[in-house]
Amino acid sequence: MQQPIIEIKNANIYQGDSLVLKEVNLTIREGEFVYLVGRTGTGKSSLLKTLYGDLLLTEGEAVVAEYQLKNMHWKQVPYLRRKLGVVFQDFRLLTDRNVANNLRFVLKATGWTDKKLIDDKVTQVLEQVGLQHKANKMPYEMSGGEQQRVDIARALLNSPKLILADEPTGNLDPVTTDEIMNLLLSIAKESNAAIVMATHDYAVVKKYPARLIKTEGGRVVDNATIDNL
Ligand SMILES: Nc1ncnc2c1ncn2[C@@H]1O[C@H](COP(=O)(O)OP(=O)(O)OP(=O)(O)O)[C@@H](O)[C@H]1O
């Protein structure tokens, strides 16, 4: 059996003083593809934020990529983030520089210094997402689907074993959504990375069935199949 990359035990997740999710128990293993669904405001983003260290865990236990999250010191958070890839709905590319420089910027910010290694890595992740020919394009010269691919390339830079994606197809048309889904599923398989993807898109969940966890009534429900939706 694959190694757990996320292990949460009896965690309570708060936003300010209010308890958003209680008694969360969840194990996700390397190479797994998992949907995170649930109605607006039920805590999907809060769970993802906890996993990438944006929301401090104070009750219960959680280990993500071998980092203990409970009461984690803020100085530790950048080290946790280097072990993860995070993909957002709105891409969040730097608009003042081209694709390759967006990727170089992240590598330098995460401690890479060797120019040749940086360039090789940028080429590698762009090939992984099928955009090697767009390295010199500015973000505004690219379609939404291409920008989302760059965002995924950026998430792959530090070879993460866990990718957290917050509605990565939320702004895309159905054909482009298919391309991005196929890309994410192939990354899970080929890189043996776990992917946790928050989505509201039930058409996607039906078309690409996978393990499904749901935020509902202040809890995380692990359905394992889509039959209970
Ligand atoms: N920064 C914050 N401060 C205080 N409360 C917050 C904050 N962010 C979210 N909340 C509250 O926490 C609860 C869960 O919000 P969260 O964003 O995790 O839900 P969600 O399921 O991701 O929703 P959506 O699908 O709309 O993104 C909501 O009641 C929300 O109002």
Taking only the tens place, the pLDDT of each residue in 116-165 is 999 999 999 999 999 999 999 999 999 989 999 999 999 999 899 999 99
ipTM of the complex: 0.94
Helix (H) / strand (E) containing 204: helix 202-207
What is the number of helices (H) and of strands (E) in the chain? 7, 10
Whether residue 171 sits in one domain with residue 153: no
Q: Which of 141, 158, 175 is the last residue of a domain?
A: 158
The predicted pLDDT at position 90 comes to: 77
Whether residue 103 sits in one domain with residue 63: no
The number of folded domains in the chain is: 2
Domain that includes residue 112, residue range: 88-158
The mean pLDDT value of the chain amounts to 92
Ligand 1 atom closest to residue 47's alpha carbon, by position in its atom list: 18
Whether residue 229 sits in one domain with residue 121: no
For residue 201, what are its two tokens? Answer: 């898109």
Whether residue 11 sits in one domain with residue 62: yes
DSSP-based three-state secondary structure for 140: helix
Residue 199's identity, in one-letter code, is T
The CATH number of residue 21's host domain is 3.40.50.300
**217 phi-psi bin (left φ>0, alpha ψ -120 to 50, beta other):** left
Q: CA torsion, points 205, 170, 8, 21, in degrees to nearest 10?
A: -100
Ligand 1 centroid to residue 170 C-alpha, Å? 17
Whether residue 79 sits in one domain with residue 36: yes
Query: Is there an atom of ligand 1 within 6 Å of 199 CB?
Result: no
Taking only the tens place, the pLDDT of each residue in 189-208 is 988 999 999 999 999 999 99
Q: Which of 139, 158, 177 is the last residue of a domain?
A: 158
Whether residue 69 sits in one domain with residue 4: yes
Query: Is there an atom of ligand 1 within 6 Å of 201 CB?
Result: no
List the residue whose alpha carbon is closest to atom 2 of ligand 1: 15
Characterize the bridge pairing of strands 4-15 and 59-64.
Answer: antiparallel
DSSP label at 2?
P
Query: Is there an atom of ligand 1 within 6 Å of 43 CB?
Result: yes
CA distance 98 to 188: 27
List the residue whose alpha carbon is closest to atom 9 of ligand 1: 15
Whether residue 168 sits in one domain with residue 127: no
